[in-house]
Amino acid sequence: MDVYGLIGNPVGHSLSPPMHEAGYEQLGIDARYVTFEPPEDGGAEAVRSAANLGVSGLNVTIPFKQDVLDAVEPDDLAARIGAVNTIDFSTDPPTGHNTDAVGLVRALEHHDVSISGRAVVVGAGGAGRAAAFGLADRSVTVDIANRTTEKATALAEEVTSADAVSGTATGHGLDAIEEILADADLLVNATSVGMEEDRSPVPAEALHGDLAVLDAVYSPLETRLLKDAQAAGATTVDGAWMLLYQGVEAFERWTGESAPVGAMNDALRGGLE
């Protein structure tokens, strides 16, 4: 039996176990997915212990996504983002990947959203970095807007100067949102604004019908931003799709199988409702 898992602190609320186990069950894979909660300074050590115990794969969440870089060989994208959320123990040393970036792109593709043109990413933290690099890697022109303008500008410089990245990025403060959204094709909320609150990081008047809007927040599923976007005639993609596809991407990397996306989605949404 293969053992996969998640390290985070806290991890009690995680929906990854039912999501991944629904996938194993559907494909008849003999595996389990369990959660581990190492102490806050114990991320890298937990990864080394997991390798010794024969764990096949680990997902990594807050607060360990940066710390585990010390215990793995990160691939190019994870190194550029500066965060690892998926570890593959089939190599020595284990390899570190970031499936948040690809998960975002696959969530958009699932909704037939074209990954091209101009995108506005609101937020320049971990999720914002994954979104900016993931979209720029697909040749999208990215405008990053963040409450702390300097973080957006610094991230934009990193994205634009990265060798492997084909798109370009520009950083802004939140006050630029209306202007940069006017001719944008895509909007991603990568801030925590809207989580368990009826608040949007973007003024409703700035939204328009030519936009596709993805909110990385998934609690609630229908955020204020997505309600406003729907009212403006935009295509909307809720945060559970990104959560699903970062998991799908990890599942496929570990098992080498095409993930049963429908079964994993049902298990995830069953837990969210």
Catalytic amino acids?
65
Residues 190-209 close enough to bind ligand ATR by CB under 6 A: 190-193, 201
Q: How far is CA 68 from the centre of its chain?
A: 17
- As measured in angstroms, the least distance from the Cβ of 177 to ligand ATR is 11
Nearest to ligand ATR by Cβ — which residue? 125
Evaluate whether 224 touches 199 at the Cβ level (below 8 Å). Answer: yes
- As measured in angstroms, the least distance from the Cβ of 78 to ligand ATR is 14
Binding test (CB under 6 A) with ligand ATR, winner from 90, 91, 139, 148 = 148
Of the candidate spans 10-18, 125-133, 162-170, 175-183, the one that interacts with ligand ATR by CB under 6 A turns out to be 125-133
Torsion angle (degrees, nearest 10) of CA 123, 126, 132, 137: -170
Binding of residue 43 to ligand ATR (CB under 6 A): no
Strands (E), 46-164: 57-60, 73-74, 86-88, 95-97, 118-122, 141-146
Binding of residue 8 to ligand ATR (CB under 6 A): no
Tell me if residue 144 falls in helix, strand or coil.
Answer: strand
Calpha distance 97→134 (Å, rounded): 13
Binding of residue 260 to ligand ATR (CB under 6 A): no
Of the candidate spans 5-13, 68-76, 180-188, 189-197, the one that interacts with ligand ATR by CB under 6 A turns out to be 189-197
Of the candidate spans 22-30, 72-80, 184-192, 248-256, the one that interacts with ligand ATR by CB under 6 A turns out to be 184-192
Taking the least distance from each CB to ligand ATR, the nearer of 31 and 250 is 250
Tokens of 98: 């970031």
Amino acid letter for position 28: G
Binding of residue 85 to ligand ATR (CB under 6 A): no
- As measured in angstroms, the least distance from the Cβ of 37 to ligand ATR is 18
Binding test (CB under 6 A) with ligand ATR, winner from 86, 95, 146, 223 = 146
Evaluate whether 116 touches 185 at the Cβ level (below 8 Å). Answer: yes
Evaluate whether 259 touches 102 at the Cβ level (below 8 Å). Answer: no
Q: CB count, 10 Å around CB of 243?
A: 22
Taking the least distance from each CB to ligand ATR, the nearer of 59 and 191 is 191
Torsion angle (degrees, nearest 10) of CA 76, 80, 83, 89: 10
Residues in contact with ligand ATR by CB under 6 A are 123-128, 146-148, 151, 190-193, 201
